[in-house]
Structure 1
Amino acid sequence: MPVTTLEKNTETQNSIAMNPEVERQDLVSTAAKHLEPFCFSYRFTDAMLMGADVKTVGKYLDAHQGWFTRCAQPMQVNALGKNGYDLTIGRFSSFGYVVEPKVGLELLPQESGVYHIKTVEIPNYTAPGYDVNFNAQMRLVDTVDGDRLGTKIDWDLDLRVFIHFPKFIYKLPTGVIQGTGDKLLKQIVNRVSKQLTHKVQHDFHGNLGLKIPKG
């Protein structure tokens, strides 16, 4: 996945020297530990139409060991137990700071047509200067297209990312850091969600020989 870089503020760009060759671990180690991490957040909602009844769609989603691994590509995915995954989102940078976030996710069994996804720890892994809080749910809703039953999957995500930046980042105006981080997080979520929706729809309908509903 390519590096995503937001446009730098010209004033701060000239006033702060950055060495792109510095290792990520070294950048994190220079972070001012007494300073509070920045919290970037984004709430996201979307919906996906499936050309089959709720029972059929639910059976597909329950077998996430197959579709999740296939549809998450090109992100790197490793299984964590029965319902968990170690997911590498990609490589991103802003203001010369590079991060390749990983997150552990658990896909909980459905409860009356509702699925919850939450953050879990990745064994033997310490995130270098960041922490992710991922809470999402999917709700299966009956739909009707003529005389054909279908399903709408409503998707809600509440995502928060806490980052301890290197000291030089804290020299920037707080509003610039906050606005840039929130914008980058929004771009990442929108792109990943669009890709995942597209792949899940094609994977589900392709396996069952069904047409993807319009809309």
Structure 2
Amino acid sequence: MLLLSRSDPDNLLHGSDPQVRCYRSGFSDQMEMLAPTTQVVTYLNGHQSWFERCAKPMQVAALDHQSYALTLGRFGNFGFEVEPTIALRLLPEDKQLYRIETVRTVPQSLVLRDHYDVDFQASMQLIDQDSTTSVNWDLDLSVWIRLPKVITMLPEQLVQSSGDHLLRQIVRQISRRLTWKVQEDFHASHGLHCPPRRRAAF
């Protein structure tokens, strides 16, 4: 199993290894919560009680009271498969804004610093709408990966476009599923009817 980590940013980000490629993707979505913002804040602040449940079927391991390691599932391209794990920290709410960022230091068991690096930056902005709350979700994700030599022998444009496509698949699948499940879990835990799912914007 190969893992994603960001414990040694200089190793891949600023090197000149011709086997290293950088792939980037973004994601935007919106959730409607049929409750006052204060109630949504209370729920989101207690992520220890819902994050692991909402992240399923991903495997989740708590690193501390704010951080989690997520194993995303198996993905591959050109016969090269990985089962990435990302370590994330959920930062405290600041004026109805939540941020999620890559954990800079993770246990050695999560580190394969010579193969992957990841920069995960996400935010959730809560907006008051009378008795309901709108949650705007944005994600910027960059991944640096050292590819096998046999793949880097392929045309550069093919390698880049295929990697970008795979990353978009991962971001779309993981982000949409997580936002939907958080929305559904919030309403179910408060005995509220859940609004229909919205179409995500990219």
Give the TM bin, normalised by the shorter chain: 0.7 to 0.9
Please, what TM-score do these two structures have when normalized by structure 2? Answer: 0.85
Please, what TM-score do these two structures have when normalized by structure 1? Answer: 0.80
Letter in 2 for 1:188: I
**Corresponding residue for residue 94 of structure 2:** 111
Q: 1:94 aligns with which of 74, 77, 82?
A: 77
Number of matched pairs: 182
Give the root-mean-square deviation of aligned CA atoms.
Answer: 1.8
1:29-178 matches, cutoff 5 A: 34-35=17-18, 37-120=20-103, 121-124=105-108, 125-127=110-112, 129-144=115-130, 149-178=131-160
Q: 1:179 aligns with which of 117, 139, 161?
A: 161
SS in 2 for 1:213: coil
- How big is each residue's C-alpha offset from its partner over 1:154-203, in whole Å with a ceiling of 9 and x where there is no partner? 01111001000011111011110110111111111111122112211121
Letter in 2 for 1:106: R
Letter in 2 for 1:122: V
Shift, 1:34, TM fit: 3.4
**Corresponding residue for residue 11 of structure 2:** none
Runs (5+) with no aligned partner, structure 2: 4-15
On the 8 A contact 1:103/1:122 being kept in 2, the answer is no
**Corresponding residue for residue 8 of structure 1:** none
Letter in 1 for 2:57: P
**Corresponding residue for residue 9 of structure 2:** none
* Worse-superposed segment, 49-58 or 33-42: 33-42
- How big is each residue's C-alpha offset from its partner over 1:18-71, in whole Å with a ceiling of 9 and x where there is no partner? xxxxx979xxxxxxx832510000111111111101110010000001111100
Query: 2:172 and 2:44 mapped to 1: Cα distance?
Result: 21
Q: Percent identity among equivalent residues?
A: 46
Q: 1:37 to 1:137 in 2, by over 3 A?
A: same
Which stretches of structure 1, 4 residues or more, deviate above 6 A after TM superposition? Answer: none
SS in 2 for 1:34: coil
In the alignment, does 2:176 pair up with 1:190? no
Letter in 2 for 1:126: V
Query: 1:24 and 1:193 mapped to 2: Cα distance?
Result: 21
SS in 1 for 2:50: helix
Query: 1:114 and 1:133 mapped to 2: Cα distance?
Result: 19
Letter in 1 for 2:139: L
**Corresponding residue for residue 195 of structure 2:** 213
Greater relative contact order, per chain length (Cα 8 Å cut-off, separation 6+): 2
